[in-house]
């Protein structure tokens, strides 16, 4: 269910990497406000899109009364996940 391959810059490997990380020098990030919930300041990070998605699903249930993410919302979340190089 990962769309990470679509966001990789050309010339980089799109194959699986160790322990679900896209690279040992990067972290995935997500901000709820980036999906249109402008009043929500919740943010999270993780090593993979799947890890982020689990956290987002829990946040949606607990903070936004959304027992399940529909396909449109899931797509918005996937498109809002960013890759941040490690410091």
Using the structure block, give the residue that is written with the tokens 């993410």. Answer: 69
Cα torsion through 44, 48, 51, 53, rounded to 10: 80
pLDDT at 49 over 60: yes
pLDDT-derived band at 74 (thresholds 50, 70, 90) equals very high
Strand order of the sheet with strand 82-85?
43-46, 26-31, 82-85
Which pTM value belongs to this model? 0.68
Query: Given this model, what pLDDT does residue 36 score?
Result: 92
Query: Given this model, what pLDDT does residue 28 score?
Result: 96
Helix (H), strand (E) at residue 31: strand 26-31
Could you read off the pLDDT of 4-47 as tens digits, one per residue? Answer: 333 333 333 333 333 444 445 679 999 999 999 999 999 999 99
């Amino acid at each position: 269910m990962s769309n990470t391959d679509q966001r990789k810059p050309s010339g980089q490997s799109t194959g699986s990497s160790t322990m679900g990380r896209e690279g040992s020098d990067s972290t995935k990030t997500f901000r709820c406000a980036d999906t249109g919930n402008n009043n929500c300041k919740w943010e999270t990070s993780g090593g993979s899109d799947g890890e982020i998605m689990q956290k987002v699903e829990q946040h949606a249930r607990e903070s936004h009364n959304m027992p399940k993410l529909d396909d449109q919302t899931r797509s918005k979340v996937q498109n809002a996940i960013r890759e941040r190089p490690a410091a």
